[in-house]
Structure 1
Amino acid sequence: MTALLSRDGTNFSLACDTCGQLVANLAPAMGTWQVAWSLFVEDGWRGAQRPTGPHACGRCATPRSLGMVEASFGRATPPGRGPQPVTWRELDGVTVVELPGTLQPATHARLHDLLAEDIRPTRHVVFDLSRLAAVDSALLAVLVAAHENAARHGRRICLAGGAERVTAALRMLSVEDLLPNFPDVPAALAWLTAAPPGNRQ
């Protein structure tokens, strides 16, 4: 992960995935990820347009294949990875993933495992964030990866119940179009099931 959110989700930093160089406190001066990244590219940084990376500074030139957080999901399973309280169910042909109110490293790992192994990529997915007060960099990495995987299969994902702090962080990192947020799960399901016939289950 290269766009690192602050703990309260109101600021972000940029880290090089190769050498770890960190440029902090970007939101006050640049506002959004899109503006910041366009300026860093002029300064020699390279990498993906999305904030989840991977990215590399001018002296490293070539970014790794995965960002820091994404790479960490492939490491050995940490203790407690399995029973983290991430649940999912099927409603009207759509997978609804319910996140707990507290995010921990094992929660992110469990969510990554669910999306990689248990949830069919041929279904639309709603992430119910109604219990979360804020979003962090690791969750953002999982959500953006889920969006990209769904797009490859002609499917869509969206969020439901995201608090204002969550939606503000998504706007700041310029991913609100990739991860649309709806007031609740029924509204999200209505949006997904109204998709063109080619995008339905």
Structure 2
Amino acid sequence: MTVVPGLRADTVNLICDHCGDAVEGIPAVLPEPDVVWTVIGEHGWDGSPFAVGPHRCPGCIVATLVTPPAPDVDPGSPPRPDPDGWRVDVEEIAGVRVLTPAGDIDVLVADVLREALTTAVTADRDVVLDLSRVGMIDSTGLGLLVRAHRDARQRNRTFCLVAPSRFVLTVLHTMRLDSVFLVFDHRTQALTCLAAETTPRG
């Protein structure tokens, strides 16, 4: 556990997994004790939206972006892709922008995804985010999804998710966002649904 109960009632201590720095906060909004997304966002931290890490304090976020640490080598698991090679594939299918991230979504790749989402939404298109290659998402990535959904709605457009992993689905359910996003198992389902929409466009 990287989050422990605070000294004051209804507070938690968020501990950085890199430097050990800690901050106390109130996990507001949601009653689930394992959810610390609000504390992370309030104090400028990054990492898992749950109490189980990893979590990074603002100082370690900057250090990680400037000089990524050498990854621990575990012969029993596949290596994590180099963030420098992380990308978002973009397709235009029947007037719909389909974005497919190349791997897990965290603070190291947030700028690439943010730019792709912003470009897609501002192009006045419905947007499908294909998560079939994404296993994990951290609080930064979750914030990008929420913002893209909000921006699409403001333009009277639809933003939907395709093939989220069990972890992503758990995050959405725990954050009570599963009823906010349109979620499909397959890309064809999403495209068929969008093609059948009769909502007037502004």
The answer to whether TM tops 0.5 is: yes
**By how many angstroms is 1:154 displaced?**
0.3
1:81–1:131 distance in 2 versus 1, CA, 3 Å: closer
**By how many angstroms is 1:53 displaced?**
9.6
Matches of 1:109 and 1:84, distance apart in 2:
11
Q: Which one-letter code corresponds to 1:98 in the other structure?
A: T
Q: Residues 45-56 of structure 1: matches in 2 within 5 Å?
A: none
- Residue 190 of structure 1 is matched in structure 2 by 192
- Residue 149 of structure 1 is matched in structure 2 by 151
Larger Rg: 2
Q: Residues 169-188 of structure 1: matches in 2 within 5 Å?
A: 169-188=171-190
**By how many angstroms is 1:160 displaced?**
0.4
Any conservation in 2 of the 1:134–1:166 contact (CA below 8 Å)?
Answer: yes
Q: Which structure 1 residue ranges, 5 or more long, are not aligned?
A: 1-5, 7-12, 37-49, 57-66
1:162–1:173 distance in 2 versus 1, CA, 3 Å: same
- Residue 158 of structure 1 is matched in structure 2 by 160
- Residue 43 of structure 1 is matched in structure 2 by none
Does residue 88 in structure 1 map to residue 76 in structure 2? no
**By how many angstroms is 1:114 displaced?**
1.9
| Secondary structure of the structure 1 residue equivalent to 2:115 | helix
| Secondary structure of the structure 1 residue equivalent to 2:103 | coil
- Residue 102 of structure 1 is matched in structure 2 by 104
Any conservation in 2 of the 1:128–1:161 contact (CA below 8 Å)?
Answer: yes
- Residue 131 of structure 2 is matched in structure 1 by 129
Q: Which one-letter code corresponds to 2:197 in the other structure?
A: A
Normalising by structure 1, report the TM-score. Answer: 0.60
CA offsets 1:27-84 (integer angstroms, 9 cap, x no match): 8x73797xx9xxxxxxxxxxxxx9699759xxxxxxxxxx767xx9xx9xx6798863
**By how many angstroms is 1:88 displaced?**
1.0
**By how many angstroms is 1:104 displaced?**
4.2
Matches of 1:94 and 1:14, distance apart in 2:
43
Matches of 2:13 and 2:200, distance apart in 1:
38
Q: Which one-letter code corresponds to 2:112 in the other structure?
A: R
- Residue 42 of structure 1 is matched in structure 2 by none
- Residue 22 of structure 1 is matched in structure 2 by 25
| Secondary structure of the structure 1 residue equivalent to 2:173 | helix
Q: Which one-letter code corresponds to 1:146 in the other structure?
A: A
Matches of 2:147 and 2:196, distance apart in 1:
23
Matches of 2:91 and 2:110, distance apart in 1:
18
Which protein, 1 or 2, shows the higher relative CO under an 8 Å CA cutoff with sep ≥ 6? Answer: 1
Q: Percent identity, aligned pairs only?
A: 22
Matches of 2:39 and 2:192, distance apart in 1:
28
1:124–1:51 distance in 2 versus 1, CA, 3 Å: farther
Matches of 2:129 and 2:39, distance apart in 1:
18
